[in-house]
Structure 1
């Protein structure tokens, strides 16, 4: 790192911030890798900044303020109020960015962001801390998302939990989170990107993402980012469709639910999220 920490921290603090979120197994990791492969964008991987680091800092500062409120033996200082903590949170975000800048040239960066799926349920806190932050919401057919999640998290789920019950919970969450995100994001810089569209037209959808973040849409940069974030590269050499249930990059396909779900399971998804699924074109082939 050629610059001192203080200088680099100041540089990254001055850049516009963005965040990526969506339901688990919706393609947020692919989007993060794609964005971070652009030389003008730094997108930190799953740090859980909004639901781990910020609450920890808030608790620490709140505890400090409470201890300062106790009558001291001598004249002392009062602790900061909650509404004074924004600069601390933003400074912590810049420190996180510095720690993960890797070999990127800070002179070329135009924006700094972070991806954690749960960011999508932290939007109010996110925009309270970063009023001008941009948000990318990655959306996937909930039937495919549920199947992928059930495979990925099976070892951590109760052994008696059946796939149909997991699908029930996942599709309800998909419907609720998407509607709530849209409500909170009204009037904000907010972009929805379908996982399926990113598969079908990667080059144009990547350009849309880069443009949304204010980065260059030069064709060579787009192709390089796509290649760097390809399924084959991320999975260690497997082709899309070559499944590895133990890998974070399981299969790399869309529409796999058709070969897996029963009619009864398909009806669960439609019952829980039918109108929004229809809006996104997920019911057009039923």
Structure 2
């Protein structure tokens, strides 16, 4: 890696695909800085009823209160809010966010910032325009596993998930995320991690990922990830990291859904073959 060359990586994928697990592994690297998910671009891009703001490239009205809460409660660095301009131009807000994250990264003596927000996968088209040289780490996981986990989490913890999601919405979330990953998987600034590969062969998978990130593999990634995860996870949303790297398979799928639901899910995802996605 070039000395003093700041790099920004976005870790994305359908929620419940293992993004928090992978973030914890990467954040345990001594040269990588990462924080709780910011959801910055999710809140920045105007929603459907904000058509005028969208036409004028203005950030959503939801962004300002969100970043205020993020910097005050999650980062405990409210003094950094002064660097965000009062004018809500999306480019200016994005620049302020990245510059602030760069400053926090450099405070730790690092030059690699990892931003993990699963839903940022739906905003890649905006991020690539607003963040020059941004790189993306996608993670993909079995649709049956993800859909079951997403359905369970949003029903157990509806408030942080903005409400319980129906089975159809969970299926749609996974299908859409996979389609986006397929669209970008051959782009030079994108890499795809297979959750199964990560669990079965964590060291070799992380070595390949470190090569993409222009870093040397560090065994601390495997030794310290559970400790690092404590400052990154959102327990109130059901986002936790196990102490042991293991494959739980389809246990949750068969536990959460009855036979009719199982058959319905499988019928909706049968045309997606993850083996056709280039994965490390």
Paired residue for 2:31? 40
8 Å contact kept, 2:157–2:236: no
Q: Which has the higher contact order (CA 8 A, sep 6+)?
A: 2
Distance 1:157 1:202 in 2: 32
Distance 2:27 2:189 in 1: 20
8 Å contact kept, 1:32–1:45: no
Structure 2: unaligned runs, 5 residues or longer:
47-52, 62-85
Alignment of 1:169-188 (within 5 A): 169-184=169-184, 187-188=187-188
The RMSD of aligned alpha carbons is 3.8
8 Å contact kept, 2:149–2:252: no
8 Å contact kept, 1:20–1:115: yes
- Residue 268, structure 1, aligned to residue 264, structure 2: yes
8 Å contact kept, 1:40–1:216: no
8 Å contact kept, 1:146–1:166: no
TM-score using structure 2 length: 0.67
- Residue 104, structure 1, aligned to residue 108, structure 2: yes
Distance 1:190 1:259 in 2: 33
- The alpha-carbon distance between structure 1 residues 234 and 133, as it changes in their structure 2 partners (threshold 3 A), is closer
- Residue 126, structure 1, aligned to residue 120, structure 2: no
Structure 1: unaligned runs, 5 residues or longer:
1-10, 62-78, 237-243, 282-286
Distance 2:269 2:154 in 1: 22
Paired residue for 1:147? 148
TM-score using structure 1 length: 0.66
- Residue 15, structure 1, aligned to residue 6, structure 2: yes
Larger-gyration structure (1/2): 1
DSSP-derived class of the 1:275 partner: coil
**How far does residue 112 in structure 1 lie from its aligned partner after superposition?**
1.8
Paired residue for 1:228? 224
Paired residue for 2:191? 191
**How far does residue 104 in structure 1 lie from its aligned partner after superposition?**
3.0
Alignment of 1:64-79 (within 5 A): none
**How far does residue 153 in structure 1 lie from its aligned partner after superposition?**
2.1
